[in-house]
Amino acid sequence: MKERLIEKVLLLIACSAIAIILLIFLFIFIEGLPVFVKTGVFKFIFSSNWAPTKGHFGILPMIIGSIFVTLGALVFGVSFGLACAILLAEFAPKGTVRILKPLIELLAGIPSVVYGFIGVVVLIPIIRNTLGGPGFSVLAASIILGVMILPTIIAVSLDALHAVPLVYKEGSLALGATQWQTTYYALIPAAKSGIIAGIILGMGRAIGETMAVIMIAGNSLKIPISLLDPVRTLTSNIALEMGYASGMHQQALFATGVVLFIIIIILNTIALLTIGRK
């Protein structure tokens, strides 16, 4: 009876979590529905004219900006994060791991506004003086978000590598493989599900980040055509204008949230399908 009761309670908790997500999506969708009806879904998503005071609501520049910034953050964060996790799991001395791991985990507790401030003071002048442009750009936002998602990717990937049975490593080494060959051909494929899970979490953090992006991305309403162009993301658009929006303008921001929600679902689905194919 106790086991069945615990099972029912856990099932109820799991269902309640799903129900909360569905209620949030339903609330946002209901609030944004008038804009979809009046403007049209196709025009709302694929128009680049965002002028709320004139009744024009097109979020294509923000969609492209969000995708560019998120992909740039993943390129930076995944490459450095996975390399760091492999180093800590297989190659670094234990004493070094004891020092580096808490420091990496500490990065996750730093407020995003601090990352944004560092980007404004340090990173943007470097980009402006070396590569040109205003400095506030897709590149700046990608680098800062890449640093912000590092702790998530490193921590999850490290746990996934540690969860691989020791017999995989011992068997590979016994067959004459080097430590790097063992890591590349045996450990990483065995831990790929956990690694991709960490990438998904990092992607969610990157696409949902607001404050740091507002500070360093430039918040331009134009479609970016290079890494040095300023950009505005979906989250930045909501945060910047929700404070004074009303009427149809406010409903358009809720509709923007619906689009963001759907984009996150699509990206997560693609990542999960990638796990299933490997």
Residue 277 has pLDDT above 60, yes or no: no
Best CA proximity match to 74, nearest among 158, 156, 150: 150
| More confident: 186 or 1 | 186
Tell me, what's the pLDDT at 146? Answer: 92
Say if residue 11 is exposed, middle or buried (CB neighbours under 10 Å; 0-12, 13-18, 19+).
exposed
Q: Which amino acid is at 152?
A: T
Structural domains of the chain, with CATH:
18-277 (1.10.3720.10)
Q: Is the pLDDT of residue 110 over 90?
A: no
Burial class (CB in 10 A: 0-12, 13-18, 19+), 67: middle
- Name the residue among 115, 85, 274, 72 with its Cα closest to residue 210: 115
Residue-wise pLDDT tens digits, 91-106: 888 888 888 888 888 8
pLDDT of residue 148: 92
User: What whole-number distance in Å separates Cα of residue 133 and Cα of residue 177?
Assistant: 48
Distance CA 238, CA 174 (A): 56
Please state the rounded mean pLDDT for residues 200-225: 88
**Per-residue CA distances from 265 to 73, 239, 248 (Å):** 18, 21, 26
Give the model confidence (pLDDT) of 12-54 as tens digits: 988 998 899 889 889 999 998 998 888 888 889 998 888 888 8
Q: In terms of Cα–Cα distance, which of 189, 205, 103 is closest to 149?
A: 205
Distance CA 150, CA 146 (A): 6
Asked if residue 182 has pLDDT above 70, the reply is yes
